[in-house]
A = this chain, B = another copy of it.
């Protein structure tokens, strides 16, 4: 019962990902908290031909698409909100390198919900009547039906509505604020669709900004929306969502958001970005050095910091976490 599931990021990617897999992440809004560092590691390990399932693209899919690692994607929204279009994704779509299947921001969590319930389809009362319903970027033989969102007849009224296919991704890499070593996870800020995704995915790896003592979990069980029983592994990686934000933890890095998106607009810029910010570190420490300790201190001075106050007493230090890695644990 006290087995630790803490493993290094590189090991999580080695163990739970493969070329051609259906990979889900980007789980908290277009520019919100997301396991972006997991996407960086996918690139470091040369994963290819990914079928990306992202409620919203986020900088992670922007990067994976821009670098050519994702050849298929399904999204509800694929830009960076006020930061503009997602240039890497855009380039991949416009060039035909990545087929992007469009849904809406409600369709995606509903398709996770349907996957979580193992339903054959999910009723659709939106997306129908628009071009989202029938236009498919995927080859027809890639979808379970001949049409993307077919109709289904309500047996009560005889009325026709739509039917979504469901999603059960091979893996979900989910960013959370706090987790214990077994994977019990607390999210601060909107869940967006992380709750539904965690139940839809065949496997779940948690990427946590901080590790807490299990006392925190027992004090706040209603906040533990992802329980350990469905978690394969936990990766501790501070500022894992950078340059995006993590409510309570850190603000968005506006400068890097622009720099990154500008770089991803071209192949050359992407190569340079990968060399600098994907290959440019070896572990969490050198990652934090790369970002810059001063910058991190500024980002951590978020006005939302008070949201973390009730849990701070349980946050483990890096040394404590190191002593609790999956192999080292004894308790």
Contacts and interface: CB of A to CB of B under 8 A. Distances in A.
A188 to B, nearest CB: 6
Interface in A98-149: 114, 117-123, 125, 144-145
Interface stretch (A1-9, A156-164, A283-291, A316-324): A156-164
A22 to B, nearest CB: 17
A310 interface: yes
Contact of A153 (B122, B123, B152): B152
Contacts of A186: 222
B125 A123 contact: no
A154 interface: yes
A302 interface: no
B156 A150 contact: yes
A156 B145 contact: yes
A196 to B, nearest CB: 12
Interface string A287-322: 000000000000000000011011000000000000
Contact of A120 (B114, B157, B187, B191): B157
Instruction: Give the residue among A155, A220, A223 with the most B Cβ atoms within 10 A.
Output: A155
B150 A155 contact: yes
A306 B220 CA distance: 10
Oligomer: number of copies:
2
A155 B161 contact: no
Interface string A215-232: 000011111000000000
Contact of A145 (B121, B152, B155): B155
A151 interface: yes
A161 B120 contact: yes
A309 B117 CA distance: 35
B161 A154 contact: no
Nearest to A155: B150
B222 A155 contact: no
A193 interface: no
Given A123-B119, A123-B122, A220 B155 contact: no
A165 B144 CA distance: 26
18 contacts: A114-B123, A117-B123, A117-B125, A119-B123, A120-B156, A120-B157, A121-B155, A123-B123, A144-B157, A145-B156, A152-B152, A152-B154, A155-B163, A156-B165, A189-B222, A219-B306, A219-B307, A219-B309
The 8 A-B residue pairs with the shortest CB-CB distance, nearest first, are A120-B154, A150-B155, A144-B156, A145-B156, A119-B123, A155-B163, A152-B155, A121-B154
